[in-house]
Amino acid sequence: MPFIPHTEADVRAMLDAIGVGHIDDLFEEIPAQLRAGPLAGIPAALNEMEIGRLMEERAARDGRSLCFIGAGAYEHHIPSAVWAIVTRGELYSAYTPYQAEASQGTLQMIYEYQTMMASLTGLEVSNASLYDGASALAEAALMAVRAHRRSRSARILVPRTVNPTYAKVARAIAGNQNLVFEDLPYCTDGGHTIVESLRRFEGEDITALVIQQPNFFGTLEDVDELTDWAHAHGALVIAVVNPSALGILKAPGEWGARGADIACGEGQPLGVPLSSGGPYFGFMATRMEFVRQMPGRIVGRTVDLEGRTGFTLTLQAREQHIRRGKATSNICTNQGLLMMAGTIYLSLIGPKGLAEVASACVTHTHALVAALSSIAGVSVAFDRPRFHEAVLQLDRPVGPVLDALAARGIEGGFDLSEHYPELGPALLVCATETKTQADIDAYAWALGEILQAPHPDPLP
Amino acid sequence: MSNVPADLKFTKSHEWVRVSPEGVAEIGITDHAQQALGDLVFVEVPEAGRKVSSGDACAVVESVKAASDVYAPVSGEVVEGNAALTETPELINQDAYGAGWLMRIRLGNSAELESLLDAKAYEELLASEEH
């Protein structure tokens, strides 16, 4: 489908036809103080050669460091076939095409994706993806308010062990739509959410409880106990899950006696490169009883007049082109390309491969924690089982230590001091299946050297 | 020509109201509305106990063509939603004024009934909408 811009002559002809002198006259009714002026501080346009050069220089500056940062985006091995297939002309689009049913291949791919995500989360129905993990949580909170018809409070309990960026994005998106997000403290021994912290809400109208598994600290939550508490007290459960971890952990649909009601999360670990932070894709799955409250597109399998299998967009009355302002959201399929990479990744590695990836992550992180915590000045913050991340506490501020590691080509982890000042100088580290014992030894050796030097800024 | 029973009250947004002697209003969408929507595939009715004000969107009817809100013609407390519609939304197509009722509301203010249309006024509304 070619994109043909209007020529100046086209614009002139259209303005003449409606008797308007200048295109700005069309916007006259907008008061002057509400109009945006020309963009200040934006440099002149670059041509293709210039922008190519600039991007290469910036990419080179990133270097090829050894990355032990997780905190929501994870470096995993991506089979070469994934992007070789995704970039084929037949698939290379971010969107569901207009006249969607004419593109049976795209619809089938989305259907396969939904099937895999439903199976991975242990829930009945998945949508065709969302923007990213953080906005998926916001959408899940809005959906919970719509789905929970007996609850009028729109109160969502968010443990502090949920990715703080997700919590912030959820507040930014849904906070002005009358949703109230309330923090829950965590246990300082285990780094997890305990049911005791929920007791003060008993007897109150709570719409939903968010449970992240594994949580932001990498710690495993008591998902069964938390889920059962929520259901016993009339709240829905929103699970935020890492899809790699679902290779070995219990699916949200099996948490507690009844299972989580909505599962969402970040799809990036499934075949999407880190790419300096995006684009990624979000995912969401739920029970069939809530499907009409789910945002996003849904593809269904059906039969045509001759009984042949075909794929079609379904339940579209939830969507903006039909329900307008009352649609469940304005999400369509912008992340379709990334979702497709996730589908191909999952189909290539399969359930066994995903379990192997997850197990390797656990083993490598165990080795990393053992190596780093044997260094004087490093201790492990929490004593609970974990997936592929852990919180370490240092004897000095984290920032300069990370800078010193970066100078040696090692990205040492995520500095938690800004979001969790109460933990002191705390560092979140991660080792996926991509980190070998030699990588871990190199990190431990470098950190040992850096911490051996007396630090100029001792803690009180 | 659609069916407009003489003993019911109507709204401009195509709901009908049947008031019982006990002060409970049974509410549905009119024969004209179900014809315009086409085959219904999903209906969401309000929970018993919900308080509604006249004009509130309190139910959703979804057909193969469109999804529309149904507005409460009167204020009051929902006594019952028609649970049968969850499994068989086509009851509205088959029997809009009978088995296809949507909800029953205990009237909070019976004076509101005065502002509803009678059958004749509703027929006139339909006739004017045809032009």
* Angstroms from B86 CA to nearest CA on chain A: 11
**Could you read off the pLDDT of A255-299 as tens digits, one per residue?**
999 999 999 999 999 999 999 889 999 999 999 999 999 999 999
Which residue, of A316, A344, A372, is where some domain finishes?
A: A344
Nearest neighbour of B62 by CB, restricted to A149, A150, A317? A317
* Residue from A294, A302, A323 to probe the interface with B (highest B Cβ count within 10 Å): A323
Same domain? For A163 and A280 the reply is yes
Within a domain: B75: yes
- Mean pLDDT in residue range A344-351: 97
Q: Identify the weakest region by mean pLDDT among A98-102, A239-243, A248-252, A340-344.
A: A98-102
Report DSSP letters for A61-118, one per residue.
Answer: HHTTPEE---TT-------HHHHHHHTSTTT--SSPPSSGGG-HHHHHHHHHHHHHHH
Shared domain check, A226 and A187: yes
What is the CATH classification number for the domain harbouring A423? 3.90.1150.10
State the best of B58, B61, B62, B70 to mutate against chain A, taking most chain A CBs within 10 Å. Answer: B62
**Domain C-terminal end among A298, A325, A344:** A344
Give the integer Cα–Cα distance in Å for A281 and A304. 31
Contact criterion met (CB < 8 Å) for B47 and A292: no
Nearest CA in chain A to B64: A317
pTM: 0.88
Q: Using CA atoms, how far apart are residues A193 and A214, in angstroms rounded to an integer?
A: 11
Tell me the C-alpha distance between A98 and A116, whole Å: 25
- Check whether residue A104 and residue A170 sit in a common domain: yes
- The per-residue pLDDT for range B68-98, each reduced to its tens digit, is 899 999 999 999 999 999 999 999 999 999 9
Count: domains in chain A: 2
In this predicted model, what pLDDT tens digit does every residue of A350-379 receive, in sequence order? 999 999 999 999 999 999 999 999 999 999
For residue B77, give the H/E element and its range.
strand B76-81
B93 domain-assigned: yes
Of B42, B67, B69, the CB nearest to A322: B67
Token readout for B111 is: 């004076």
Q: With a CB-CB cutoff of 8 Å, which residues 291-320 of chain A face chain B? A: 292, 317-318
Whether residue A108 sits in one domain with residue A91: yes
Residues of chain A contacting B66 with CB distance shorter than 8 Å: 317, 322
**pLDDT recorded at residue A1:** 46
- Domain assignment present for residue B122? The answer is no
Total domain count, chain B: 1
- State the nearest Cα–Cα gap between A150 and chain B, in angstroms: 8
If asked whether residues A197 and A296 sit together in one domain, one would say yes
Q: Is a pLDDT exceeding 90 seen at residue A325? A: no
Average pLDDT of A181-188? 96
CA closest to A319 among chain B residues: B67
- Using an 8 Å CB-CB cutoff, list residues of chain B that contact chain A: 42, 44, 47, 62, 66-67, 69
What ipTM score was computed for the predicted complex, to two decimals?
A: 0.77
- A290 to chain B: nearest residue by CA? B44
Q: Give the range among A331-345, A395-409, A430-444 with minimum mean pLDDT.
A: A331-345
Looking at residue B127, its pLDDT comes to: 93
Residues 96-155 (A) with a CB less than 8 A from some CB of B: 149-150
Nearest to residue A414, comparing CAs of A67, A83, A182, A168?
A67
- The DSSP output letter for A44 is P
Q: Domain for residue A8, yes or no?
A: no
Please tell me the predicted confidence (pLDDT) of residue A3: 65
Q: Is residue B101 part of a domain?
A: yes
A382/A413 same-domain check: yes
Q: Residues 6 or more apart from A436 whose CB is under 8 A from it?
A: none
Q: Are residues A356 and A314 in the same domain?
A: no
The verdict on residue A2 lying in a domain is no
DSSP annotation of A204 = S
Quote the pLDDT of residue A170.
Answer: 97
Q: Kindly state whether residues A176 and A254 are assigned to the same domain.
A: yes
pLDDT band at A454 (very low <50, low <70, confident <90, very high): confident
Residue A15 falls in which region: left (phi positive, over 0), alpha (psi -120 to 50) or beta: alpha
The answer to whether residues A273 and A124 belong to one domain is yes
Q: Where are the alpha helices (DSSP H) in A175-269?
A: 223-232
Query: A113 in a domain, yes or no?
Result: yes
Which tens digits make up the pLDDT trace of A111-159? Answer: 999 999 999 999 999 999 999 999 999 999 999 999 998 899 999 999 9
Whether A339 has a pLDDT exceeding 60, the answer reads: yes
* Residue at A86 is within a domain: yes
Q: What does the pLDDT average to over A39-57?
A: 93
Identify the domain containing residue B103 by its residue range. 9-115
> Could you tell me how many CB contacts below 8 A there are between chain A and chain B?
14
Report if residue A28 sits inside a domain.
no
pLDDT at position A330 over 90: no
Q: Which of A149, A150, A317 sits opposite B67 (nearest CB)?
A: A317
The answer to whether residue A424 scores a pLDDT higher than 90 is yes
Work out the minimum CA distance from B70 to partner chain A, whole angstroms.
Answer: 13
B126, part of any domain: no
User: Above 60 in pLDDT, residue A459?
Assistant: no
Same-domain check for residues A358 and A307: no
pLDDT above 70: percentage of residues in chain A: 98
Beta strands in A293-381 (DSSP E): 299-303, 309-313, 378-380
Distance from CA of B67 to the nearest CA of A (A): 6
Q: Out of A150, A292, A326, name the one closest to residue B47 (CB).
A: A150
A95-109, A255-269, A306-320, A373-387: least confident range: A95-109
pLDDT tens track of chain B, all 131 residues? Answer: 689 999 999 999 999 999 999 999 999 999 999 999 999 999 999 999 999 999 999 999 999 878 889 999 999 999 999 999 999 999 999 999 999 999 999 999 989 999 999 999 999 999 998 76
User: Phi/psi class of residue A242: alpha, beta or left (left: φ > 0; alpha: ψ in -120 to 50)?
Assistant: beta
CB-CB under 8 Å, B67 with A323: yes
Same domain, A290 and A396: no
| Cα–Cα distance, B29 to A216 (Å, whole number) | 50
Nearest chain A residue (CA) to B42: A292
Among A344, A361, A378, which residue terminates a domain? A344
Q: Which domain holds residue A255?
A: 80-344
- Chain A residues within an 8 Å CB radius of B42: 292, 317
With beta carbons under 8 A apart, name residues in chain A contacting B62. 292, 317
| Token pair recorded at residue B5 | 């029973």
| CATH number, position B102 | 2.40.50.100
**Does one domain contain both A192 and A145?**
yes
